[in-house]
Every structure is written in C-alpha cells, then in structure tokens.
Structure 1
Amino acid sequence: MAKQPWAGESIVLVGASYVGYTQWSVADAVPPQVKAMVPVVSNATFTMAFNREGGFALETPFTWAVQVERQERRFANVRNALEEREILRAMGTLPLSQADVGLLGHRNS
C-alpha cells in the first residue's frame, strides 16, 4: 500500500463559507492526522439557512447563487448589496424557474 503524503503529519482544515461547509460535511470521516477544523462563516446545520419557520427561505439560495455568479466582478460585494432590491424583484418572476434569466440574462445552473 502506498504511503499517504500526509502520513505522520498534522493537518488543520481551514476555510470560510463553502469551504467551511465542506469541513462540516466530512467531519465524521477525517483521518487521524486532522487535528483541528476551523470552519469560518458557516455552521453545522446548513439546512437552517434554507428552512425557516413557516417554509422554505427562497431568498437564501437565490441570493447565494447570484453572488457566486457575480463574485468576480469589480467591487462585487458593494454591488451585490446595492442589487438586493433587484434580486427580490427577480424572485417574483413567474414561472420561478425563469428568475435567474430575468436577473442575470442567462440560466445559472
């Protein structure tokens, strides 16, 4: 059996947002070399971001998808905050499956 490159080493998993969520998803199966996990801007109950009292929180996945789509633009964080009203308006699109096209001009899949 080939030796794993990290055998005998200590590993720390660190990451924010999506990378933090991936740490939670593997937490029960990490090798013994993983000595610590530092998930930043994430939580162990990812579904709680989508499921709220009274129903599904549509704005959470839709806003996240738009932010990921636009994250490489110049001043993306500022622009995303200013476009919140535009995002909310797009979520009112019917059929809802066309909301991304209405907002972005193309399918976001």
Structure 2
Amino acid sequence: MKIGTGIGLAALIVALISIFIPLAGLVLAGIGLVIACLGALFGDKGFAIATVVVTAVNYFFLSPSLWMSEAGSRVSGGSGNTEVWAFIVALLVAPIVCMILYSSGKIMLGKKAS
C-alpha cells in the first residue's frame, strides 16, 4: 500500500467515525478533510473524493447542530452563520484543490524533485 492510499484511508475512516459523534464530530470531520488533503498531495484520489462526499453528507444532511445554530442565528435577528458555512465549503474544496495541485505537478509530497 502506498503512503497516499494509507493516509486517504485514514481520512475516510475519520470522516465515517465523525458521523456518529455529535458536536465533536464536526471538528473530527474537518480533521478528516485535512488528512484527505495530505493524502491527495501524496497522490491518492479515490479516498480523498470519498472523504469529501462523506463529510459533505455529514455536514449538510446529518448534522442537526449546524442547522440549529443557523436557525437560532436567524431567529435572533442575525443573517445566519455565513462565516461558518464559508469555512465548511473551504474545507470541502481543499482536498480537490490538493488533487489538482498534485496532478499539475505543483506540489507532490513523497516524490523526489526532478
């Protein structure tokens, strides 16, 4: 098993575990996305994409704490948690950006420079 595949698998496992842990699971999912970025920079694509999909489903559909926070902010007269949602989208896009950087040869971890 290549190191990128191992790191990608670890990211997916962390993302899957984060589904079952309330509140702290949101942070754990973010950590899984950071690990997926590392895996993508080592050349893994499959597990990085799977981690993004699992985490997106977790954040947008399975996380009532995010939706309650959004509703509470709007009820109290606020405009919502725009910063939180922007941060979540940035985390979800990061592994894809890392895959593009690896594919273009800009950043390749674990490879000797030629």
TM over 0.5: no
Select the structure that is richer in helix: 2
Bigger radius of gyration: 1
Q: Which has the higher contact order (CA 8 A, sep 6+)?
A: 2
Select the structure that is richer in strand: 1
